[in-house]
A = this chain, B = another copy of it.
Amino acid sequence: MADQKLLSTRQISEHKTPEDCWIVVDNQVWDVTDFLDEHPGGSAIILKYAGRDATKAYSEVHAPSVLKTNLQPDKFKGVLDESTIDDAWLKPPPGENHKLLLDNQKPPLETLINAHDFEVVASKTASNKTWAFYSSAATDLITRDANKSCFDRIWFRPRVLRNVRSVDTRTKILGGDFKLPLFVSPAAMAKLIHSEGECAIARACESKGIMQGISNNSSYTMDELRTAAPSASFFFQLYVNRDREKSAALLHQCSKNPNIKAIFVTVDAAWPGKREADERVKADEGLSVPMSPSKAQNDKKGGGLGRVMAGFIDPGLTWEDLRWVRQHTHKPVCLKGVMSADDALLALKAGMDGILLSNHGGRNLDTSPPSIITLLEIQKRCPEVLEKMEVYVDSGIRRGTDILKAICLGATAVGMGRSMLFATNYGQEGVEHLVDIMQDELETAMRNVGITSLDEASPDLVHTGDVDHLVPASRAHPYARVIAKGRRRGSKL
């Protein structure tokens, strides 16, 4: 390069007008005055850096050689004398407002563009304990991770040349109309990540027209949530208390609250799972929730919130008890946590209004089957269930494509739990933003697969050949069922 003259920052900063404009890129100083009008991106962006270092902004949109290629050699003025760099030089240009983010600060909401982003931000900005409680799952995390990877192993069979100008994601759930086949899965203690907790979620669901499941271990009561979002639709996720009267009282509250559209009786948490990340972090023993007798504590097993908050739940619940539930409510009753086609059939027989296929986000029994595999088992073994009863799916939903796959395979709607908690990190706005993202992803997936209404979603639009071997074909194991010797005869010690 012709002239390697050293130029001080002061010399350079004198050329800062549209009539005399120098910029620095990669330490090289260029006179771009004549180029201002030719710049395809307009002159304003260049003038912002007049007499300044434009390297960062430049490299975001241009390859290194562009300046050299587009300017005459005489426009090269010299090389920045780095020894003259001072604080003034390093100050960002006027109007520039790059907020320096610390590692534990939340980035601006609009920079989050998918459900994973919310998870990453929560992992850095929530308290250690909140992160441990929300993100943890049973023992080796096999089910938690398979919940998602099984969706990823189902392929679309997209159809082309179909008019997809307008697409409609509206869905009926238990007779109600919703804008999306997506609801917020009930999850405990949303206040841990944001002071408004479930209230923020409720307002977001109300404004976006989707349903919210309220956990028995919610940080707010169902009445508080109704106050927060008067026109929202909820279902109540009941953990049946060892003390039946307590549960009856809650069902009574449900009856009086017109926003509660259904009762979901939890059946996938007969016993709290071993969530080791949660156990390893000490719990704040002041923590409690208003609709259950649970209170956080640390004991010899660790600080597991998931475990101690579940202490009141009755592990003795059976199909018989569902009749008792029916006696205490006139609202639709669904089961939350079915993990086999066999129990789906029993639920149908028991007259349930719907079932939510769920393994509790992999939080209770590791190597319990991913929910989407259970849906495939129902398709394979007892598809009539899908015609006679609403079937929902949660655990592992992260993408609009996941939603569409579940719907194609027969689900009425799907739930997202953890992701919604992570979005609550930004309050109501965060949840709204995530719902918008999911809607956009779902609509894009529907269009590109060639449908405009969820009625058109069918199993023929997916190929499940990569996971079919994970789906049981019958009630019995294909190998012989044998009574192992000795085990039968175990007597009292």
Contacts and interface: CB of A to CB of B under 8 A. Distances in A.
**Interface on chain A toward B: helix, strand, loop, or mixed SS?**
loop
B316 A172 contact: no
Interface string A322-354: 100000000000010111101100100000000
Interface in A166-218: 168, 170-175, 177-179, 181, 192-193, 195, 209
- Number of copies of this protein chain within its complex: 4
A98 interface: no
A287 B40 contact: yes
Contacts of A61: 127-129, 282-284
A490 B170 contact: yes
Interface string A431-465: 00000000011011101111001110111101111
A271 to B, nearest CB: 4
A472 interface: yes
A462 B369 CA distance: 10
A59 interface: yes
A487 B407 contact: yes
Interface centre among A69, A175, A410, A464 (most CB of B within 10 A): A410
Instruction: Report, as a range, how many residues of chain A touch the other chain.
Output: 35 or more
B480 A470 contact: no
B412 A484 contact: yes
Nearest to A116: B140
A454 B491 CA distance: 12
Interface stretch (A9-17, A75-83, A385-393): A385-393
Interface centre among A142, A179, A444 (most CB of B within 10 A): A444
Interface centre among A282, A366, A369, A457 (most CB of B within 10 A): A366
Given A267-B161, A317-B161, A282 B60 contact: yes
Contacts of A272: 444
Interface string A400-434: 01000001001110000000000000000000000
B128 A365 contact: no
A260 B288 CA distance: 52
Contacts of A276: 113-114
12 contacts: A139-B441, A159-B339, A159-B342, A161-B322, A170-B491, A173-B486, A270-B450, A365-B401, A387-B484, A411-B484, A459-B477, A460-B481
Given A113-B279, A271-B443, 8 more contacts: A42-B285, A158-B340, A161-B319, A174-B486, A274-B444, A379-B479, A380-B479, A387-B484
